[in-house]
Structures are given as C-alpha cells and as structure tokens.
Amino acid sequence: MNRRVLKITLVVGLFAVVTVLFASTNTTILKQIKLMNRVLTAIYTDYVDPIDYRKLIKGAIDGMTSTLDPHTVFYTPKQYKELQVDTRGKFGGLGIQIGIRDNWLTVIAPIEGTPAYRAGIQAGDRIIKIEGKSTKGITVEEAVTKLRGEPGTKVTITIQREGEPEPFDVTIVRDIIEIKPVPYYGMTKEGVGYIRLTQFSELAGDEVRKALKDLKSQGAKGIILDLRSNPGGLLSQAVEVAGQFLHKNSLVVFTKGRTIYQSREYYTDFEGEYPEGPLVVLVDGGSASASEIVSGAIQDHDRGLILGQPTFGKGLVQSIRPLDEGTALKITTAKYYIPSGRCIQKEDYLHNPRSAIITDTLNWNPDTLDPWDFSTTPADTDTTEEKEKPVYYTENGRKVYGGGGITPDIEFEPPKLNKLEVDLLRKGLFFEFAVHYLADHKKEFTSPDFEVSDKLVEEFRKFIKEKNFEYKSRIDILLEQIDSVAQEDTITEETRRILDQLKQQMKKEDELDFERSKDFIKREIKRQIVQAIWGEKERYRVVDVPNDPTIQKAISVILDREEYQKYLQPHDDK
C-alpha cells in the first residue's frame, strides 16, 4: 500500500474510533465527526501542495483545545517531559509565572530573586513578543518552551505595560530557577510578625508553621502573611498553610466537576499553629490559585483581614491524562470554591467568541440545534455584558462578592513608580551598579544598616551615564510625536518657537525627575548592595519590610485593634 494512503488511512481510522464512541449517544455528533473525517481526508489527499499530516492533526487538536480555557492543552512528548521537569522545582529560565489574558501572554508574577524580578518585570505585563516574534494566540506551554533554555543564555522579550505609551524590549539572562517557599520571616520594629510566602511548593506548610512558632515565641502582636505575586502551587500545601491559621476540621476549599470523582471537600486535619490573634494577609493581582484559596478561606471564616489589590482569579483544576507515544492532555476537570460558596475563577475565558463551552445548560437542547450553524449560540450571547456580581456571606455574615478572584477587605494601592524609576529598574541598572561598585569598594560596607550617601548617588549617576542610559519622560515621547507631525504639516514660526521652548523646558524637568526620585534611587542602591553582601534575609529586614507602604499599612491595622475589629463586623455595603 502507498505510504501516503496508509498514513491517511490510519488518521481516518483514529477518528473512526471516536465515531464509535459517540455513535450511541447523538446522531448529530456522529454526522459532524464524519464531516471532520471527510475534511481531513480531502485536505490530505487533494490539497495542491504536499501536507505534513503531523501538523494537520496537531492543528486540529489545538483548534479543539482553543475553544475551551487557556489551561487545557495538548502536550507533545517534548513538552510533556518539560512539564515533568517543572515538578522537580529546578530549571533554567527567567523566573516568571505566566498565563493567558485576552489571547495575550501575560505575566502573573515575577519570582523574587530571579533574573525577571531583577529586570523589573511586573505582574500584569503583556509579553507581546519573544525574540521579535508575536505571542498573540500562543499557548502557555509554547511560551515556556521559548523562554526556557540553558543558564547563561539570553532571551529578549517585548513588554506592553499599562500606562506606558509604547512597548519596550527587555533582554534577560537565563539562570537556574530554584524556589524557596519562605525566603524571609521576622519581627518588624513594631513587634508584628511578618512572613513572606512566595510559592506553595512541597515544604510551604511546614515552613510557615516553623515561622509562626518562632514569631509567637518572640511575642508577636499579630501576623502579616504576604502572598503578593505568589502564583500558587500545590493544593495540598494551600490546605496546610490555611490550616495553620484555622481550627481543626475547618473547610478550606472544595472542588466541583462533572463527575463525583472531581468533586471533593478539603478540611484541616489539625489545630493550627496560630488559630487566633490579629492576622492580615497581603494580596495583589499576582496572587493566584493556591494564594486565593488561602486568602479566601481566611476571609470566609472571618479569621483575618485581606489587604491589597484584587487577586488574579485562577480557580480551574487541571488533571494530566497521559496519551499515546509520550503525549499527554492537560485538561480542566473542576473548579475551586471557597467556604462561602464563591468560585475563585474569573469567567473571562468564557467571553471567547469561539468558545465551545455551554454557559446556560438549562436552556441547552442539542436536538433542536442546526448542526451546520457554527455561529455564536444563544447560550453565549450575554457573555459580553457586565454582570452584577453575586453576593455571598462569610461566617459572621459579612457580604463578599463572587465573580472570580478575592476582593480585599481593605483595598490599598501603593504609590506607582514614575517613568524614570521604571526605566532604571527594567534595564537592571541598580543590580549592575552594585556589582560594579562592590568590585572595588566592598570593604567600605561593614553593616547592612548603612545609609546611602549623596556621593554614592552621584557615583550611580555617573555609572548610568557611562552605560548610555537615555531617559525620556512620557511628555518627551509625546513631544517627539508632535514634532514629527509638525515636520510634515505647516506651522507658524511662532508655534515652532513655542514647541522648541517646551522641549528645552522638558530637558530641565528631566533633570529634576532624578532629584524627585532620589529617595527611591537611594533605596534601590541599598537594596542591591545589601542583597549582594548580606543576602536576601537582610535585604528584607533592613530595606524591603521597613520601606514597603503596604506592609506599613498592615502593621497600623494590626496595632489599632478597634479598626481591626471594625473591618470584621458585618456591614450593609462592602
């Protein structure tokens, strides 16, 4: 038999198996699978150019999964092996957790201490290109393959950031990524215990328990659990971490799927290390999955206060189905729900006009459908409308809202960085300066509690000038655009003179921007020097914790018991 005919026979045979599976359930499905067989056969045998049947089948599979959620993905043998490497917790990469938002590759959170973190990558950044190639429509798994590589190699990504007028490139050197779940815990000068949890890896629960035990022994007046930019991890560790703050037999989370095997409830099976006492959990848009389970359980049990920004909204449960020849399917099989009954998952993935997901099962009747009408179904027509968020209640009767993610009890947004500060961070200049300066001046630093002098700031300024750092404010960029248009259009000499004066004035403003950012520059210089000489823990102690506005807000709430209790009482409006 001709090899080409043999291959297509095998392919059609594959779909024939599927046909048999569906034959007894629905004649419409049977007809459409036959149609798919015929389209596949026609393309493979009659298309004008030779066809790579592997890509044809892969395209069909990817097409099916693209009508679902971003987390349901088919793995080639190579991709499946990389997934298995992930579970060992060590790999060469950038140090970012990524997801898909509105068909674009989006940073969920940079991982502390990694190359991406040092380069100033932020939660919410869109990675619109990898090595100059667009990422629109890319899957997470495809992106991971492109972003990972040998430690020491470089990759350039193009970032689109809210508030930035134009996309910009960031070149990052890959490194070994190894995550510590609790990189730091300690007492603040006010006597409040602080725990930074960066990921829910295998030892997360145990590390949090040890930290709590130590902080309690030091007489902590309250506890701050920092889950900002924590993208999640193991469900078992989410239950264990939440359990450290709850009493025994407390419901933490439950899952619901289409089968009873996917519907489970998870309770604490021990008395927590810190089940009573003031507690504030810090979250932001980079807090996802397991972070939302923990913060949601604490909020629903009225165990503590959630402070910060609304969380990411990742509450879909995936299972891995190994398939033939080393391939596998990661498929969403359930959703996470927290004790009040709220689902963590945001429903934005349902807004995809190509979605095959039935959102209104009560009014869905496949027997009345036109099998050849592939347009948007009636069940999907209302997905673009803004829906009122459903109301739920905590254990004490406080109103909380569904719709995905966790809305903090106290919404708090720290001051945003200006353009100069963002540019210095994303170019990694503070890190480079610390390495450069310490090569000759390390002996000058005898304690991590040093103050950054004006002289050291001038050294930094000299360094970035030698690095050809060019700073353009947003107004500078806007003026360049106006100037470009003015070159093409006719303007009066008077208008030209005013425009030139404005450009000269902005140069003076750019100089003033450096002075306005002097405190920030001093803090970042100190941060990198302390990190380089004394390590991550001292960096947290002397720089990060004392200078973080969100942490300072949490401390003030804990120390003001009347305010703390007020937030835990039911209100008519949230």
Instruction: Measure the CA–CA gap between 394 and 300, rounded to whole angstroms.
Output: 4
Give the DSSP per-residue string, 291-342: HHHHHHHHHHTT-SEEEES------EEEEEEE-GGG-EEEEEEEEEE-TTS-
Q: In the numeric block, which tokens belong to residue 310?
A: 């609304």
Residue 9 has pLDDT above 60, yes or no: no
pLDDT band at 176 (very low <50, low <70, confident <90, very high): confident
Q: Domain check: are 506 and 434 in the same one?
A: yes
pLDDT one-digit tens code per residue, 134-157:
998 888 888 988 998 888 899 999
Q: When comparing pLDDT for 409 and 34, which is higher? A: 409
What does the alpha-carbon distance between residue 278 and residue 556 come to, in Å, rounded to a whole number? 12
Alpha-carbon distance 535 to 521, whole Å? 20
* 404 and 427 part of one domain: no
Give the pairing of strands 251-257 and 223-226: unpaired
* Whether 216 and 337 share a structural domain: yes
Q: Has residue 111 been placed in a domain?
A: yes
- On whether both 116 and 189 belong to a single domain, the answer is no
Rounded to an integer, what distance in angstroms lies between the CA atom of residue 107 and that of residue 94? 12
- Kindly state whether residue 311 falls inside one of the protein's structural domains: yes
Tokens of 546: 């004392």
Residues 479 and 397 in one domain: no
Cβ neighbours of 325 (radius 10 Å): 6
User: What is the arithmetic mean of pLDDT over 379-396?
Assistant: 71
> Domains in the chain: how many in total?
4
- Which pLDDT score is estimated for 250? 97
pLDDT of residue 11: 52
Task: Flag whether pLDDT at 360 surpasses 60.
Answer: yes
Contact 302, 412 (CB under 8 A): no
- Which are the contacts of 391, defined by CB distance < 8 A and separation ≥ 6? 399, 400, 401, 402
* SS3 assignment for 88-132: CCEEEECCEEEEEECCEEEEEEECCCCHHHHCCCCCCCEEEEECC
Residue bearing the bigger pLDDT, 38 or 239:
239
Q: Residue type at 520?
A: F
Same domain assignment for residues 225 and 160: no
CATH of the domain at 88: 2.30.42.10
| Per-residue CA distances from 573 to 275, 300, 386, 389, 399 (Å) | 28, 16, 20, 13, 7
DSSP letter at 574 equals -
Residue 253 near residue 293, CB atoms below 8 Å: yes
Whether 358 is covered by a domain: the verdict is no
- What is the DSSP track for 212-229? HHHHHHTT-S-EEEE-TT
Contact 532, 109 (CB under 8 A): no
Is residue 38, in this structure, part of any structural domain at all? Answer: yes
Least confident of 11-25, 191-205, 246-260, 370-384: 11-25
User: Quick one: 300 and 385 in the same domain?
Assistant: yes
Give pLDDT tens digits for 218-228.
Answer: 999 999 999 99
In a domain, 193, yes or no: yes
Measure Cα distances from 189 to 296, 343, 462, 541, 546 in Å: 29, 38, 35, 10, 8
Beta bridge partners of 177: 91
397 and 447 co-located in one domain: no
Taking the C-alpha atoms of residue 172 and residue 148, their distance in angstroms, rounded to an integer, is: 11
Q: Which two tokens stand for residue 171?
A: 């070149």
Predicted confidence at residue 125, as pLDDT, reads 87
pLDDT at 354: 76
| pLDDT category of residue 261 using cuts at 50, 70 and 90 | confident
Say yes or no to pLDDT of 519 above 70. yes
In a domain, 30, yes or no: yes
Structure confidence at residue 265 as a pLDDT band (50, 70, 90): very high
For residue 474, the model assigns a pLDDT of: 66
More confident of the two residues 118 and 278: 278
Mean pLDDT of the chain: 86
Q: What is the pLDDT of residue 15?
A: 52
Whether residues 10 and 153 share a domain: the answer is no
CATH of the domain at 405: 3.90.226.10
Residue 203 burial (10 A CB sphere; 0-12, 13-18, 19+):
middle
326 and 225 housed in the same domain: yes
pLDDT tier at 158 (50, 70, 90 boundaries)? very high
Same domain, yes or no: 237 and 127: no
Residue 84 lies in a domain: yes
> Would you place residue 376 in the very low, low, confident or very high pLDDT band (cuts 50, 70, 90)?
low
Do the strands 328-337 and 251-257 form a parallel or antiparallel pair, or are they unpaired? antiparallel
In the listed set 118, 150, 178, which residue is the last one of a domain according to the structure?
Answer: 178
What pLDDT digit, counting tens, does each position of 116-135 carry? 988 888 877 899 999 999 99
Find the mean pLDDT for residues 559-564.
Answer: 96
Q: What are the residue numbers of the active site?
A: 289, 300, 314
The last residue of one of the domains, among 363, 390, 411, is: 411
22 and 124 in a common domain: no
Residue 22 lies in a domain: yes
Residue 390 lies in domain: 184-347+376-411
Q: How far apart are the first and last CA of the chain?
A: 72
173: left (phi over 0), alpha (psi -120 to 50) or beta: beta
Q: When comparing pLDDT for 11 and 179, which is higher?
A: 179
Task: Single out the residue in 143, 159, 178 at which a domain terminates.
Answer: 178
Q: What number of helices (H) and strands (E) belong to the chain? A: 19, 21
**Amino acid letter for position 480:** E
- If you ran DSSP here, which 8-state letter would residue 361 be given? G
For the chain, how many residues are written? 574
CA angle 498, 502, 506 (to 5 degrees): 175
In the prediction, which pLDDT does 24 show? 45
Q: Higher-confidence residue: 165 or 115?
A: 115
